[in-house]
Amino acid sequence: MKTYLDIVKNILENGEEKADRTGTGTLAIAGSIFEHDMAKGFPLLTTKKMPFKVMASELEFFIKGLTDKQWLKDRNCHIWDEWCDPQKVPYAHDEETKKKMSEERDLGAIYGFQWRHFNAPYQNYNSDYSGQGIDQLKKVIESLKNNPNDRRMIVMAWNPCMIDKMALPPCHYGFQLTVINGRLNLLWNQRSVDTMLGLPFNISSYALLLHLLAKETGLKEGKLVGFLADVHIYTNHLDGVKEQLTRDPNLYPLPQIKTDKFTTIFDWQYTDTVLENYQSFPGIKFEIAV
C-alpha cells in the first residue's frame, strides 16, 4: 500500500533522532494519518510477506478478552512472548528478567480484557470474569444494530487505573465506529507506532475487526482510518526500511478476505476467515525492541 510507504518515507526524510524506553533509538515524527477504503481490498502489505494467521489469532484473543500468553503460543502466535504482567515480573532489560518475563504466561489486564471487562478487578489469566466490568465491545455492537447514527461508539483499551497491571500500556489505545450511508467505518488512535514491525499488524488487525463487525451488523465495509501520534522507525530497522522502499507497492493487487462460517463475532475463530489471492514480495526480518 502506497499510503503506508508514504508514512515510512516521511519518517526517513523528516524524522528526528529520539531516545526510547527500549534503549534502541528511533527516528520519529509527530503525527500521521493512515487511510484506506475497504472497497479497494484487504490492506495486507504486499511489499513484504505478512503472516495473516498470526495477526488474526491475536485479534481473536482480544475479542475473547483473554490474557493467557499460552493460548497464543498454542496457535503459533508469538507476538507477546517477551512480555508479562508487571505485577508478577517487573519490567527490566537484564537477561535474567527477560527470561522470567518470557516464562510467565499471565499478560495482565491488556487490550481484550479492557474491551470485554473494562475496569473489572484483575486477578489472574485463568479467573472467571463473567459479568464483571463493562463489555465495551458488546455495547458498541448493540448501538450499531439499534442506533447506527450514534457518535459515541467508542472502545477504549487505555485505562489509567490499571496501567500497572498490563504487560504493556496499550499502543493502539482506542477505536471508534461510525456509520455513514450504510457503510461502517473504523477509526483507531495509537500513541506509539513501531512503523516497520507493529503498524502493518495494526492496519490488518483493525481491518479484520471492521470486516467482522460489518458481518455482525449487516453493514457494508467502509473506511479504515488510523490517527498516529509518536510515529517512529527503530534505528536497527533502517536496512530493512531501505530494502522495502525499493519494492513496488503496485506490483501485486491487494488480497481479499472471506468469512463464510459466521454466526456472531463472539463465536468467531481466526480459522473461520480465509485470505484469498495474497501475493507479496518476500518477508523482511525486523528485530523486536523489548
Question: Per residue in 17-47, pLDDT tens?
Answer: 999 888 889 999 999 999 999 999 999 999 9
Q: State yes or no: 32 annotated in a binding site.
A: no
pLDDT beyond 90 at 83: yes
pLDDT beyond 70 at 289: no
CATH for 253: 3.30.572.10
In this prediction, residue 122 carries a pLDDT of 97
In a domain, 105, yes or no: no
Q: Grade residue 1 by pLDDT with cuts at 50, 70 and 90.
A: confident
d(CA 156, CA 118): 8
In a domain, 284, yes or no: no
Q: State yes or no: 247 annotated in a binding site.
A: no
Pairing of strands 154-156, 172-180: antiparallel
Phi, psi angle pair for 254, to nearest 5°: -65, 145
3-state helix, strand, coil in the chain (%, to 5): 35, 25, 45
In a domain, 6, yes or no: yes
The number of C-alpha atoms within 13 Å of 101 and in the hemisphere containing its C-beta is: 21
pLDDT tens digits for range 45-57: 999 999 999 999 9
Q: Look at the block and give the residue holding cell 473461520.
A: 272
Annotated catalytic residues are 171
Domain residue limits at 32: 2-52+130-276
In a domain, 116, yes or no: no
The 3-state DSSP class for residue 228 equals: strand
Q: State yes or no: 250 annotated in a binding site.
A: no
d(CA 63, CA 248): 34
In a domain, 192, yes or no: yes
**What pairs with residue 226 in β-bridges?**
34, 188
pLDDT beyond 90 at 86: yes
Numbers of helices and strands, H then E, in the chain: 8, 8
Q: State yes or no: 234 annotated in a binding site.
A: yes
In a domain, 268, yes or no: yes
- The mean pLDDT value for 200-210 works out to 98
- Strand order through the sheet with 183-194: 16-18, 26-37, 220-234, 183-194, 172-180, 154-156
How far CA 191 is from CA of 23, 32, 88, 102, 199, in Å, comes to: 18, 11, 25, 25, 12
In a domain, 258, yes or no: yes
Do 265 and 56 form a contact (C-beta atoms < 8 A)?
Answer: no
In a domain, 240, yes or no: yes
Q: Grade residue 76 by pLDDT with cuts at 50, 70 and 90.
A: very high
Give the count of beta carbons closer than 10 Å to the beta carbon of residue 41: 17
Q: State yes or no: 21 annotated in a binding site.
A: yes
Q: Grade residue 290 by pLDDT with cuts at 50, 70 and 90.
A: low
Q: State yes or no: 152 annotated in a binding site.
A: yes
DSSP state of 205: H
Domains in the chain: how many in total?
1
Report the mean per-residue pLDDT for the chain. Answer: 96
**Long-range contact set of residues 145-149: C-beta below 8 Å, sequence gap at least 24:** 145/217, 148/179, 148/217, 148/219, 149/179
